[in-house]
Amino acid sequence: MTKNIGIFLYKDFQLLDASGPITAFEIAARVKPDAYRLALLSIEGGLMESSSGAAMNSVSVNDAPPLDTLVISGGNGSRDVMRCTETIAYLRACAANVRRMCSVCSGAFPLAAAGLLDGKRVTTHWRRAEQLQQLFPSVRVEIDRIHIRDGNIWTSAGISAGIDLALALIADDLGEKVARRVAQEMVVYYRRPGGQSQFSALADLGGGDTRFSLLLEWMRANLAERLTVEQLAERMAMSPRNFSRAFLNVIGISPAKAVERLRVEAARERVESSRQPIEQIATAVGFRDPERMRRAFLRRFGQPPQAIRRSQG
């Protein structure tokens, strides 16, 4: 049976938040004919202008076909949409009738404003995660996830993560073989290596415009190496003593703590998204000893890896 997928738009939506999932579902419907039919929706219908100025034509929600799934785009306009009484009323009514309610990036904010995320584990763009948690304390925000499913609520991280979300929805409907085929056609990862931590951790560590930004990127890509102070200092053509002092001054934590931070967040993503043995994960990200990784998890997340994995069901 063909599933109607609604993509909810509004003024100043983020174009890729919508076009990424649209493309994934379009290709899935070619791989598995008649699997999906897309409906671009807005409250009033007509052309909806994205934050880039490019516009998409939409149908009024009053004229929408019966939906299987609704995906709410994120974007700068989400701040206004979460205060729009018509939108909130529509989302609440829709939630009572569809199989899945989904959001991309800051599309989580209107869902939260409608009360649909209360008590749910959710994610959003890492830059807005703290704001989401402050505005809606009853929502359980997890900053380092690419996407999360909690019951019939699916939320995803920033912008391009809408593609990851769509692939997960396709796998849920049509199986992993079809979802992998779609990913291959789109030339994207079927399961992206690493969570938002690969972006948020580097940003939090000052990995933007600093002289250590390239080093931090290299560290993340080579976690299985020993990554000693001597090795890192050599890459920066500095003495270990000067390197340690400069790194602490610029980044705010010691090189050893930065290495642990990158490793533990990479390990968490593997723990949550795979059934790989804990011992193998510890080796792959450079902890080597599972006990060292367990202690790092307790310091960072307050739970051991096994508890985090069990929470994923």
Q: Which two tokens stand for residue 161?
A: 């993560």
Q: Where do the structural domains in the chain lie, given as residue ranges?
A: 3-186, 197-311
**Element housing 172 (H / E):** helix 161-174
Q: State the pLDDT confidence band at 272, using cuts at 50, 70 and 90.
A: confident
Higher pLDDT: 54 or 251? It is 54
Q: How far apart are CA 189 and CA 163, in angstroms?
A: 10
State how far the Cα of 113 lies from the Cα of 94, in Å rounded to an integer: 14
The CATH number corresponding to 3-186 among 3.40.50.11540, 3.30.450.20, 3.40.50.880, 3.20.20.110 equals 3.40.50.880
Q: How confident is the model over 195-223, as a mean pLDDT?
A: 68
In this prediction, residue 198 has a pLDDT band, given cuts at 50, 70 and 90, of very low
| 152-193 confidence digits (pLDDT tens) | 999 999 888 999 999 999 999 999 899 989 999 998 876 665
Q: Which residues pair with 50 in a beta bridge?
A: 13
pLDDT of residue 87: 97
Instruction: Give the pLDDT score at 29.
Output: 96
Q: Tokens representing 257?
A: 């703590």
Long-range pairs for 47-52: beta carbons < 8 A, 24 or more residues apart: 48/9, 48/10, 48/11, 48/13, 49/11, 49/12, 50/12, 50/13, 50/14, 50/15, 50/18, 50/75, 51/12, 51/13, 51/14, 51/15, 51/75, 51/76, 51/77, 52/15
Determine the average pLDDT of the residues in 295-300: 90
Identify residue 197 by its one-letter amino acid code.
S
Residue in the block written with tokens 């509004």: 10
State the Cα–Cα distance between residues 186 and 20, nearest whole angstrom: 10
What is the CATH topology of the domain spanning 197-311? Arc Repressor Mutant, subunit A (1.10.10)
pTM: 0.67
Summarised one tens digit per residue, pLDDT across range 22-47 is 999 999 999 999 999 999 999 999 99
The helix/strand/coil state of 63 is: helix
Of the candidates 260, 270, 273, 263, the residue with the CA atom closest to the CA atom of residue 313: 273
Q: How far is CA 57 from CA 11, 37, 44, 45, 69, in A?
A: 12, 16, 11, 8, 19
CA gap 6, 73 in Å, rounded = 10
- Strand 55-60 versus strand 36-42 pairing type: parallel
Same CATH fold assignment for domains 3-186 and 197-311 = no
Least confident of 47-56, 189-198, 232-241, 247-256: 189-198
pLDDT on residue 159: 81
Task: Give residue 208's pLDDT band: very low, low, confident or very high (50, 70, 90).
Answer: low
Report pLDDT digits (tens) over 89-105: 999 999 999 999 999 99
Angle between helices 213-221 and 255-273 (to 10 degrees): 40
* 3-class DSSP state of 8: strand
Secondary structure of residue 155 in the 3-state scheme = strand
Q: Are 139 and 117 in contact (CB under 8 A)?
A: yes
Please state, rounded to an integer, the average pLDDT across all residues of the chain. 90
